[in-house]
Amino acid sequence: MTKAGSNLDRDTVAGFGREWSTFRQREEFSEADRAELFARYFELFPWSDLPPQAVGIDIGCGSGRWALLVAPRVQHLHLLDASAAALAVAKENLKDAANVSFHLASVEAIPLPDRSLDFAYSLGVLHHIPDTARGIGDIARKLKPGAPFLVYLYYAFDNRPAWFRTVWRMSDVVRRVVSRMPERLHFAVTQAIAAIVYWPLARTAKWLERIGWLPATWPLSYYRNRSFYVMRTDAYDRFCTPLEHRFTRVQIEAMLRGAGFSRIRFLEAEPYWCAVAVRD
């Protein structure tokens, strides 16, 4: 349910609270997985362009899994999430970090002055709000001119063949059904999907890669070197979310430019689409 005038969906926020309370990204999320995924998502991020005393924000911080590796690199990091349950997990995960602040708020209500931040990032979040373009604009207002913004939005399979998009449409029907199931069924169903769909396809992709026969369009090949914990987490994430938008590369660039960003660069590999842009 979307509150009138707001840019969040309450059911989706509640779902992410349950997700991060279940998958807390602690011991089960190995340091190797964390480091490898962080390197992939942040591959384009211009660390060297940040000022020496950089202050930034993690929009939709969830469990704080990325903040754990960002905070040691900057002077101060703000973590924002609309879910109190998710924020509680982030606080526990970053309890030893002295240079972080936590904010229970939506993207439209970032409690910081305009033009006050040296950078921002939002990974896998803004496609789960009613108006993604508006959310990007809200973030832009908080950034100083020249500040980078890293964003990851679900792609619309615009670089995939027609059969791939058909497979996705079938899976999206499953998502719509699962996301409306009673809460007690979410975990069981998504963990079954991880076991009987994600794991076999991912491990087959790993074997095909080893023998040099892995097609570029093999479904779920992105997970071929990931742990089963990552697959379980992402299956829950993918199939329990009631609100989801997908965007083409052209659409993402248009939203960024419309919000006042330029020098836009896209990662030319999975995860699609991950982009970095600079505030004008």
The answer as to whether 209 is a domain residue is yes
Confidence of residue 59 (pLDDT cuts 50, 70, 90): very high
Closest CA to 150 of 120, 106, 124, 125: 120
What percent of the chain has pLDDT above 90? 94
Give the domain range for residue 18.
10-156+246-279
Tally the domains of the chain.
Answer: 2
Same domain flag for 135 and 18: yes
Same domain flag for 137 and 252: yes
Please state, rounded to an integer, the average pLDDT across all residues of the chain: 95
The pLDDT tens digits of the residues spanning 216-246 come to 999 999 999 999 999 999 999 999 999 999 9
The answer as to whether 87 is a domain residue is yes
Spell out the SS3 assignment of 226-254. CCHHHHHHHHHHHHCCCCCCCECHHHHHH
Say which amino acid occupies 143.
Answer: L
Same domain flag for 152 and 168: no
Residue 1 has a pLDDT of 47
Confidence of residue 111 (pLDDT cuts 50, 70, 90): very high
Confidence of residue 5 (pLDDT cuts 50, 70, 90): low
